[in-house]
Amino acid sequence: MIVDTTKTGITKTEPSKTAEAAPCTPDFAVATQPSYARTLFLGPDGLRPGWGIAFYVGMFFLLQRLVVQWAWAHDFGAGGLWSMMLEEFGDLISAVILALVLVRVEHRPWRVYGLPARQALGRLFWVGALWGFAGISLLLLALYGLHAFAFGHVVLHGSRLARFAAFWAVMFLLVGLFEEFLLRGYLQFTLARGIGFWPAASALSAFFGVIHLRNEGEHWPGVLAAALIGFFFCLTLRRTGNLWFAVGFHAAWDWGETFFYAVPDSGTVGPGHLLSSSLHGADWLTGGSVGPEGSVLCFVVIAAVWIAFNRVYPRARVLADHAALPLPATAGSSSLRASE
């Protein structure tokens, strides 16, 4: 309130009665802030990526040890074939169960982890399978043209042919589902939340290549090829919005390599193959013990497939034809296609 004192000619301000009446209260703003524990584990976008990845990886390796023991205790007298399938199935179930737990914790829809159930084994899967079989066929035909590969003759007939064809089809479907979901499902989504889509894709693709060193007969050319194929699968995730194309490609490539063309697959030769084929020549050309994935021509085929996919699935077409999915493109972003 302003008071004019005419006697002194001085104007002074007196405090408002309302202000005088207001009690002086302590500031309890700190009490309304989240607890330290909540801040440590949760960020503005839910569970912090580092904690989610630590839980997922740690629990998966624990479950995998149990899966291996369980699978190889049930061989059924098939020379290890059924144990191999049971191990892949157990690994896939472990990876999916852990992601389902984190779906509840992070309050996200399942589809953001790359395997939307509504598109299971749908068009994208079969298109990817066609591309995968075409890719391995192109590689083997190139080696054949350079006299480094011989088809041999058919060694399976009748019911044995049908049984082994079906066995390896199911086996590599499990392999494709497990490996794609493990490295390009929950982990790709969560790591991309922290560092961006392509840095996450680079790190996980490099890891995908390195873990192939566990296979007998594997060498560094095959490891590099596996890493580059993994990076290509990240591109298919980016452009299609899910992993079904990659799963189909992965499964068909391995099926063609192991069963149909009967050559080593990442250093491993599977029994029950269609042909009595053979590789002969320099290791840099044939891939040696690694198989065609260690051939210098494999890198040419990967480049050709990458270029072809980029033309068939351009960014503009995907943006126009598909609704945006809640997959991260850059750190702090929730859109898969926010940047390309």
- Residue 21: Cβ within 10 Å count: 7
The pLDDT tens digits of the residues spanning 182-208 come to 999 999 999 998 889 999 999 999 999
C-alpha dihedral (314, 315, 321, 324), degrees to nearest 10:
150
pLDDT at residue 151 in the model: 93
Q: Which parts of the chain fold into alpha helices (H)?
A: 17-21, 36-41, 49-72, 81-106, 123-145, 158-181, 187-195, 197-210, 220-240, 244-255, 283-286, 296-312, 315-321
Q: What are the 10-residue block averages of pLDDT along the chain, 340 residues in total?
A: 48 50 52 55 65 86 84 67 85 91 85 90 95 96 94 90 94 95 92 90 92 78 90 94 95 95 84 89 88 92 95 65 41 39
pLDDT at residue 35 in the model: 56
pLDDT at residue 144 in the model: 95
Indicate the pTM of the whole model. 0.79
Interhelix angle 158-181/81-106, rounded to 10 degrees, is 30
Q: Quote the CA–CA distance of 242 and 325 in Å, as a whole number.
A: 9
pLDDT at residue 21 in the model: 53
pLDDT at residue 203 in the model: 94
